[in-house]
Amino acid sequence: MVLLYVIMPQMNGLEILRKMREIDKSVKIVMLSGMQDLRVAKDAINGGAVDYLTKPVDIKELKELIKNSVKDQIDQRNDGFSEE
């Protein structure tokens, strides 16, 4: 799971999101921003982000996202192993 800010020096977080999705479509990316801009949030979700959180981040919500992401990764790895 990747937590990625929208506004960063030298490169926009949405650009990084697109590049990361080109490299690995399975990575879970959550965008973080100090702005409550619906257009940016829609761009992030349409670009492949699994969620868009605004600051201040709700810690319970963030923990739940991380927990679900880890569980999904474990489930995906376990699906690759079959019992004989």
In sequence order, which ranges of 24-58 are alpha helices (DSSP H)?
38-46
Cis peptide before 9 (omega within 30 of 0): no
User: What is the chain's pLDDT, residue by residue, as a tens digit (84 residues)?
Assistant: 999 999 988 889 999 999 999 999 989 999 999 988 899 999 999 999 999 999 999 999 999 999 998 898 888 888 866 554
- Phi first, then psi, for residue 55 (nearest 5°) are -80, 145
CATH of domain 2-79: 3.40.50.2300
Q: Give the ranges where 7-81 is alpha helix by DSSP (H).
A: 13-23, 38-46, 59-79
Q: What is the pTM of this model?
A: 0.82
**If you ran DSSP here, which 8-state letter would residue 57 be given?**
P
Task: List the chain domain ranges.
Answer: 2-79
Per-residue b or e along 33-46, where b marks 16 or more CB atoms closer than 10 Å to that residue's CB? beeeeeebbebbee
